[in-house]
Copies of this chain bind each other. A is one copy, B any other.
């Protein structure tokens, strides 16, 4: 009853097949953690343009896609990278240059929007942002919204509570569903059919995964279905949600992958310098991304010593006493 899975792909094929110019893309992870960075770099290598990006707080992944010029529009809650970048540097520049269009939401709103997409409904209600400019100020004009059927005609709608006064609520903000053309997440373990296991916090990855029309899962470790099915309480995504499975060790690097490796502070500190200057940033892209054929070559350029340095301690799941200054 086990059939060799056609979902198992090389990263380059998965990106080529599902991530097209102008596609609506969502990536998993959160700031310094479990961004699908290998996939992000491959998108940059393949030169994708005009991507419409959905993100709650995907610091590093967002900044690199924006920095490399892949992104045209972005719906986002938070573009920072913890202590390493209070505001993501290339993102900041792109918005100030007006080379990308941005529309702002709160983190919970973006999460609810993915959740609504996963649930197959048009919206979810919340009280978050009542009385704020997140409701009043739209990043995308009515015209832009109407031209792309994948964007709802209105940003957020304030409505009455249909159950008058129930739970002491008068007004609500209705946040519209997102159904990305493609979502990419990086997980600790998956089998060849796509069943996936995330360790540590799942962020909004599960909702993003289930909301998508196509789902690419890159995984640290490709394991047997027997191994996955032996511990089903720890799995989150069933095979039938998944379109492509890519075995990609260190696939979240330079962001962290809990129980596997930490984020690389050296990378982030270097990146801060590169990102702050256009020429240095172009050199960075030329050397590290365009100058490498694939994620393995990129990792080789970083060097085994740096990787060794951030390997996770088995007790805590991160690299203890790592120099993070």
A residues with a Cβ closer than 8 A to B are: 117, 119-127, 152-154, 157, 159, 161-164, 166-167, 169, 172, 174, 176-177, 179, 199-200, 233-234
Residue among B153, B166, B174 making CB contact with A152, cutoff 8 Å: B166
Q: Are A121 and B167 in contact (CB under 8 A)?
A: yes
Cα–Cα distance between A199 and B231 once the two chains are bound (Å): 10
Give the residues in chain B near A121, CB-CB below 8 Å: 125-127, 167, 169, 172
A sample of 19 cross-chain residue pairs with beta-carbon separation below 8 angstroms, ordered by A number, consists of A117-B167, A120-B167, A121-B167, A121-B169, A121-B172, A122-B125, A122-B161, A122-B162, A122-B166, A122-B167, A122-B169, A122-B172, A124-B124, A124-B125, A157-B163, A159-B162, A162-B174, A163-B174, A233-B234
Which A-B residue pairs are the 8 nearest by beta carbons?
A122-B166, A122-B167, A122-B169, A157-B162, A152-B166, A152-B163, A122-B161, A163-B176
List B contacts of A174 (CB < 8 A). Answer: 162-163
A153 B157 Cβ-Cβ under 8 A: no
Question: How many identical subunits does the complex contain?
Answer: 2
Partner of A123 from the list B125, B127, B234 (CB cut-off 8 Å) is: B125
| A119 and B111 alpha carbons, distance in the complex (Å) | 13
Residues of B within 8 A of A153 (CB): 163-164, 166
Determine how close the nearest CB of chain B comes to the CB of A160; give it in whole angstroms. Answer: 10
Q: Contact: B154 with A167, CB < 8 Å?
A: no
Closest to A259 in B: B233
B162 & A167 in contact (Cβ 8 Å cutoff): no
CB nearest neighbor in B for A315:
B230
Smallest CB–CB gap between A58 and chain B, Å?
A: 21
Chain B positions within 8 Å of A123 at CB level: 125, 161-163, 166
Residues of B close to A162: CB separation below 8 A: 122-123, 157, 159, 174
**Chain B residues with CB below 8 A from A167, complex form:** 117, 120-122, 177, 179
Q: Is the CB of A163 within 8 A of B233?
A: no
Instruction: Give complex CA distance A126, B115 in Å.
Output: 13
